[in-house]
């Protein structure tokens, strides 16, 4: 298949992990005889430094004309530590999501058999946990009107949702549940927030169209507790932008590290793939960042184009690396491997791999297969 992939490494560990996922995609390209073309562009703090704009026009245009975007991470302490900064790296990512219409952010989370002991959570609580979080990505409090009073003593962030925004995401989540364990959980704060009450009303109405899916509701505060107490209860989660951001970082503890959690952001026309973690500035240049989240995001990219067999080869290689303890230090304190070495190991496995059959256990969601 011919694919043009825009590569936006970004800041901090972004370039280090993205280098590995590009390497893996190139190995897949070679192994399966595809025709992948990669083009890099700047975004985030590095783009502010060079152009004054966290999302330069040329970067946005490249993303629009590409089949998919492979995104690293953005963010730099010089902005995190300056609340008065007029322009911020994060604005680049938020604008990109909005401009590309990426309303659904899909974050698969699961426990790995060989990492059960590694998680701070009790192994018997997390063994078998396997869920997908559908996070709304272009609305809510992130994108509402913002203001600070002239005296600087009061600030506002408006949270707005429309039925349309809720429905287009919830349809994807219901469909995902139909192909999985047929359970959908809406996470909200409907006991307090008007927007959450609209989510509950809208999703409840939609449930009639999906009679085979059982729908339940959790308030976000309780959900945050349930996520660590009994994560096996979750199948598909659907939630608004900010709750989804927070609950997915929390859920990464189940896998053993946020360095394992991949995501796909999709809209009607565009798709972007990125790890859920940030630029982990403390690790920049040290070769300690886990590249697996970025590599599994590349696997989701392949799934998006129905290259399920190829995506499966990547996931199998990752499973194997975990089994053999070929991991960065977040997963293996003793005898750990560098970012590059983990990438090299996976690349080697892919190049040597047999052509696999499509795993029938994979669950297809729209165009996408979710592990
Ligand atoms: N999508 C994004 O680009 C994105 C996401 C989250 C945060 N950020 C930005 O990143 C910067 C740092 O934010 P933060 O420290 O809150 O979050 P972060 O995700 O960068 O790091 C939080 C912690 O997670 C762990 N971690 C993250 N990535 C890892 C990896 N690949 N391997 C191993 N461990 C990893 C580290 O222990 C780290 O201290 C901020 O500027 C923030 O705005 C960007
Ligand atoms: C960097 C930030 C804007 C972003 C978000 O909150 O969406 C990040 O935390 C994420 O999860 O992708
Ligand atoms: Mg986040």
Tell me what ipTM this predicted complex has. 0.99
Which residue out of 11, 188, 235, 245 is catalytically annotated?
245
Does a structural domain hold residue 14? yes
Does a structural domain hold residue 127? no
Q: Looking at the structure, do residues 78 and 108 belong to the same domain, yes or no?
A: yes
Instruction: Please give the Cα distance from 97 to 87 (Å, whole number).
Output: 17
* Of 103-117, 277-291, 344-358, minimum mean pLDDT range: 344-358
Distance 51 CA to ligand 2 centre (A): 22
pLDDT of residue 55: 98
- The last residue of a domain, from among 234, 255, 276: 255
Q: Which residues of 160-188 are buried (b: 16+ CB within 10 A; e: fewer)?
A: ebeeebbeebbbbbbbbbbebeebbbbbb
Domain count, the chain: 2
53 is catalytic: no
Q: Which domain covers residue 81, as residue numbers?
A: 1-119+266-371
Q: Looking at the structure, do residues 104 and 156 belong to the same domain, yes or no?
A: no
- pLDDT tier at 304, thresholds 50, 70, 90: very high
Does a structural domain hold residue 11? yes
Q: Please, what is the average pLDDT of the chain? A: 95
- pLDDT tier at 54, thresholds 50, 70, 90: very high
Residue 276, ligand 2, Cβ within 6 A: yes
pLDDT of residue 257: 97
Does a structural domain hold residue 8? yes
Atom of ligand 2 nearest to the CA of 73: 1
pLDDT of residue 207: 98
Does a structural domain hold residue 174? yes
Q: Looking at the structure, do residues 95 and 180 belong to the same domain, yes or no?
A: no
Does a structural domain hold residue 261? no
CATH number of the domain where residue 162 is located: 3.40.50.2300
pLDDT tens digits for range 213-236? 999 999 999 999 999 999 999 999
pLDDT of residue 210: 98
pLDDT over threshold 50, residue 358: no
- The last residue of a domain, from among 227, 255, 283: 255
Place of tokens 């952001």: 265
- In 10 A of CB 37, how many CB atoms? 12
Distance 302 CA to ligand 3 centre (A): 23
**Residue identifier of the C-alpha nearest atom 9 of ligand 2:** 245
Q: Looking at the structure, do residues 247 and 147 belong to the same domain, yes or no?
A: yes
Arithmetic mean of pLDDT, 356-360: 42
Does a structural domain hold residue 194? yes
Does a structural domain hold residue 328? yes
Q: Looking at the structure, do residues 241 and 177 belong to the same domain, yes or no?
A: yes
Arithmetic mean of pLDDT, 326-339: 95
């Amino acid at each position: 298949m011919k694919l043009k992939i825009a590569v936006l490494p970004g800041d901090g560990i972004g370039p280090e992990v993205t280098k590995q996922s590009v390497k893996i995609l190139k190995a897949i390209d070679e192994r399966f005889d595809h025709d992948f073309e990669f083009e890099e562009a700047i975004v985030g703090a590095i783009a502010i430094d060079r152009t004054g704009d966290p999302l330069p026009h040329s970067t946005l245009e490249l993303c629009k004309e590409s089949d998919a975007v492979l995104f690293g991470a953005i963010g730099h302490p010089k902005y995190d530590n300056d609340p008065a900064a007029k322009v911020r790296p994060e604005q680049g990512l938020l604008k990109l999501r909005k401009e590309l219409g990426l309303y659904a952010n899909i974050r698969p989370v699961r426990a790995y058999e060989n990492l059960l002991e590694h998680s701070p959570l009790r192994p018997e609580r997390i063994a078998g946990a396997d869920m997908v979080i559908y996070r709304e990505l272009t609305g809510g409090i992130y994108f509402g009107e913002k203001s600070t009073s002239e005296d600087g003593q009061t600030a506002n962030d408006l949270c707005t949702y429309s039925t349309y925004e809720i429905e287009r995401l919830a349809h994807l989540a219901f469909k995902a549940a139909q192909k999985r364990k047929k359970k959908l959980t809406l996470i909200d704060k409907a006991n307090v927030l008007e927007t959450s009450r609209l989510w509950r009303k809208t999703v409840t109405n939609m449930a009639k169209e999906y009679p085979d899916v059982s729908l339940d509701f959790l308030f976000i505060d309780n959900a945050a507790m349930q996520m660590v107490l009994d994560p096996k209860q979750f199948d598909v989660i659907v939630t608004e932008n900010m709750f989804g951001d927070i609950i997915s970082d929390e859920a990464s503890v189940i896998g053993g590290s946020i360095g394992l959690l991949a995501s796909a952001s999709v809209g009607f026309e565009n798709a972007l793939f990125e790890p859920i973690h940030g630029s982990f500035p403390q690790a920049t240049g040290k070769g300690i960042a886990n590249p697996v989240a970025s590599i599994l995001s590349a696997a989701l990219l392949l799934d998006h184009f129905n290259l399920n067999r190829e995506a499966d080869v990547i996931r199998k290689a990752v499973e194997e690396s975990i089994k053999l303890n070929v991991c960065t230090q977040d997963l293996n304190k003793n005898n750990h491997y560098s970012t590059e070495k983990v990438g090299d190991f996976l690349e080697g496995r892919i190049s040597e791999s047999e052509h696999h059959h499509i795993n029938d256990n994979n669950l297809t969601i729209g165009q996408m297969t979710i592990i």
